[in-house]
Structure 1
């Protein structure tokens, strides 16, 4: 009987793994799919956990795609009915979640002989839970742990996903791949403001991808690519700063006290 756990080292899957270890539940192998496009904080937590698994006698397997993420994104020859021949799948997300398909296929391929395959789906994700079929199961749902519970559980145990002096879960809804097209406008603005190194990487990708990363409109004006977003975010941040009232100067008598 083989017990596997798919762990991305985000808040839910890490909480699941910590729960399994603390409850001493059966666990033979942890599988991590390395897309090569994760936030550095994910890799830092992976590196903290690996010695713990080794001490417990749990195998750790890191899976990578057959071709690099950037090759699939920018260079792979693609001939689709909708867009004809072009190079690269482009942004991953929305209706074109090619990266997710590669991840799921790779993880399931490693766990072919699984009697039990633990996955990190929280109790308040009913749609995802409804799709689970044996041997996959959710220890988090069985424990009644919501996504909020999972984050608190990890924080209590000293895992914070910090980069550039910022806790990523303070500014992002999900710490998924930094180039994921599913990131909402709020998350993209947070990356622009607080994680400039990743914003520069997004601009480098957008310069090579014709399709916009996140189309939206502002005051009736359509925007879409990362460069358009940068102009909008720059203006918004400027307006926000100017709207903050200046600090009042203390009166002389107060200063002399």
Structure 2
């Protein structure tokens, strides 16, 4: 409808790039394209967005988090909204010399044997952790910030329709509860690539036909998002370390800061730290350099 304003939710990847190119080619009016700048993008992704703006003549609207992501991840004081009791480590056994009553000692010792740990209690309103730490599948605070900022941008546009670049081979993503809930609240969505039958491979091909190759990112990765995303595959982490060592060094520095911060942190991926992955990948490299055994 001509009265609707199409807003492309632009990630910078192959699907949203193909979506924007195809909408412009088909003469479909585009009110704007909005990109959430996390500050964690590959430098090559930033270069791609600049090139796309020049190619299309369309200014991509960049929105940013109110608080920079590194501050949220490593510096923000996290205040407890409830009484929290957290295990902080092994507790030393009770010492009989500290007791005047033998029965009290035996009781405390039996309790220690059942649960030999120390606990910390945090009251409501008290700081219990510094920094959100790395995002995780159950605590995707980064996604919450991104969706909130993009939604706020779209809400300011009259009769806005959010055009999302889900490819035809990932149509299941349209069934997300969050999308359905917002649609029920009045948000309007379109998924043009699905309407046109454009799958992920075709989307990448369309982009390449226009001269966009992201400086080779898609030769190394199946998906391109934040370089430090904990949800990426272990193979992608290995590739990142090999081909983008400066970004990997940044992740190691952040990982050390997070680990040293007060409070409980669950590692980078599946309770494994970036430093753990560094040790693993270094050992793999060492093994690959070993001379092959010669059968006598």
- Greater displacement, 108-117 / 8-17: 108-117
Deviations 1:61-107 (A, max 9, x none): 21011111111111111134566611111112311111111111111
Aligned to 1:26, which of 15, 29, 33? 29
Structure 1 match to 2:102? none
Q: Which residue of the partner structure matches residue 125 of structure 1?
A: 170
Displacement of 1:188 after TM fit? 0.6
What is the deviation of 1:59? 4.8
Question: Aligned with 1:124: secondary structure?
Answer: helix
Moved more, 28-37 or 123-132: 123-132
What does residue range 103-142 of structure 1 map to in structure 2 within 5 Å? 103-112=146-155, 113-131=158-176, 132=179, 133=183, 134-142=187-195
My pick for the range that moved more, 65-74 or 232-241, is 232-241
Residues 25-70 of structure 1: per-residue CA shift (max 9 Å, x gap): 111111111011111111111111223443xxx4532101111111
Find the counterpart in structure 1 of residue 268 from structure 2: 213
Q: Which residue of 2 aligns with 1:63?
A: 63
Match of 1:17 in 2: 20
* Equivalence for 1:250: none
Distance 1:51 1:161, change over 3 A: closer
Kindly provide the CA deviation profile for residues 164-213 of structure 1, in whole angstroms up to 9, marking residues without a partner as x.
xxx22222232111111111211111111111011101101101112321
| Aligned residue in 2 for 1:220 | none
> Which of the pair has the greater relative contact order for Cα pairs under 8 Å at 6+ separation?
2
Corresponding position: 1:74 with 2:74: yes
TM superposition shift of 1:3 = 1.7
Q: Which runs of 5+ in 2 are unaligned?
A: 87-121, 123-127, 260-264
Distance 1:240 1:155, change over 3 A: farther
Paired with 2:142 and 2:36, the residues of 1 have a C-alpha distance of 11
Q: Give the corresponding residue for 1:4.
A: 7
SS at 2:166's partner residue? coil
Instruction: Report the RMSD for the aligned CA atoms in angstroms.
Output: 2.2
Conservation of the 8 A alpha-carbon contact between 1:28 and 1:59: no
- Quick check: 1:231 aligned with 2:279? yes
The separation in 2 between residues aligned to 1:15 and 1:114, in whole angstroms, is: 24
Alignment: residue pair count: 232
1:201 matched to 2:250? The reply is yes
TM-score w.r.t. length of structure 1: 0.83
User: Does 2:97 correspond to 1:49?
Assistant: no
Superposed, 1:164-179 pairs within 5 Å as: 167-179=216-228
Q: Do the aligned partners of residues 28 and 69 (structure 1) sit closer, same or farther apart at CA in structure 2, a change above 3 Å counting?
A: same
Whether the aligned pair in 2 keeps the contact of 1:76 and 1:89 (CA below 8 Å) is: yes
Unmatched segments (≥5 aa) in structure 1: 217-223, 246-257
Aligned 8 A contact 1:39 1:178 in 2: yes
Q: Which has the larger radius of gyration?
A: 2
Change (3 A) 1:114 1:32: farther
Superposed displacement of residue 241, structure 1: 4.1
1:92 equivalent in structure 2: 135
TM-score (norm 2): 0.72
